[in-house]
Structure 1
Amino acid sequence: MNKNLETIKSLNELLQGEYMAVESFNNFISRLDDEGIKKVFQEVQKQHRENIDKLASYIQDIGGQPNENLGMKGKMGDVKLNMDLGSSPDSEEIVKKAIEGETQGINMAEKVLRGDLDDRSRDIAGEILEKDRRSIDKLKNLNKN
């Protein structure tokens, strides 16, 4: 049972990161004027929402309770993001901040993956990690245009 609690705790950390990503993308999207960039940001946000659904369901399937609020860390991150972006950031700055946030999320997911997870939990965390890496590629391509 103790191993399961550790797994649930790790997966909930990952879930928190996904919620933080959705919130950050809400912030980014509301500041974007370029419809093309906005569309890519919405796709990335949709991917994070799908990750949340998958993680929350799995946590419940293994007998845990998904921690579905941002918590203090998430709220502080949101405040910091608003301060970093200022009142009228340009699209390039928003994309840069989004890439930074996605990179932090990947680092967190890698940390969770290095933890003591069962095979199924490791597969789910690995899938999320892979999708987040693809999201970074999408965002990086925006700054090339």
Structure 2
Amino acid sequence: MNSENIKNLNFLLESEYIAIDSFESLINHANDINIKTKLQNIQRTHKQHTLQISTKIQDLGGRPSGSIGIQGVVAETISNIKHLGTTDNISYLKEALQGEFMAIKTINELITNNSAFSNSTILNNIIKDHQNNIDSLNNIINTSK
């Protein structure tokens, strides 16, 4: 049971690493200091998630992943190809928004399908953080149009 939980948590952890890398790119492309600050705040929440999830994995006797994994490499490659030659930051922001929605969906599925996580304060707090990130991203997108 723990090995499956560790595997699922490492998947979430790798997703958080992907988000950190994605927001690094967004931060580097942001010209407006206010937008840059908002993006840095979102990135900071993802960094906090990596620490929380890593600790949970260790508590279960596992070894936390230290990178984006193969799923991250594939996702980054697809994103880079999709945005080749694009200077429109809105498309990147919308992609980040989709990532936040996917994270919530993935965590909810994990909670629903695994009784060990049904009352997980860490996962429920991470969902709340993702919802706040969605609000922030929508705000950025709406003010950037």
Residues 120 and 56 of structure 1: CA distance in aligned 2, closer, same or farther (over 3 Å)? farther
Distance 1:137 1:79 in 2: 27
Q: CA deviation at 1:87?
A: 2.6
Q: CA deviation at 1:42?
A: 0.7
Distance 2:61 2:119 in 1: 13
**RMSD of equivalent CA atoms:** 1.8
Distance 2:36 2:91 in 1: 14
The residue that corresponds to 2:6 in the other structure is 8
Letter in 1 for 2:4: E
**How do 1:69-108 and structure 2 match up within 5 A?**
69-108=67-106
Residues 129 and 50 of structure 1: CA distance in aligned 2, closer, same or farther (over 3 Å)? same
Distance 1:88 1:119 in 2: 40
* Sequence identity (%): 29
Higher mean Cα deviation, 104-113 or 129-138?
104-113
The residue that corresponds to 1:55 in the other structure is 53
Q: CA deviation at 1:119?
A: 5.0
Q: CA deviation at 1:24?
A: 1.0
TM normalised by structure 1 equals: 0.88
**How do 1:31-46 and structure 2 match up within 5 A?**
31-46=29-44
For the 8 Å contact 1:14–1:112, the answer to whether it is kept is: no
Aligned pair count?
143
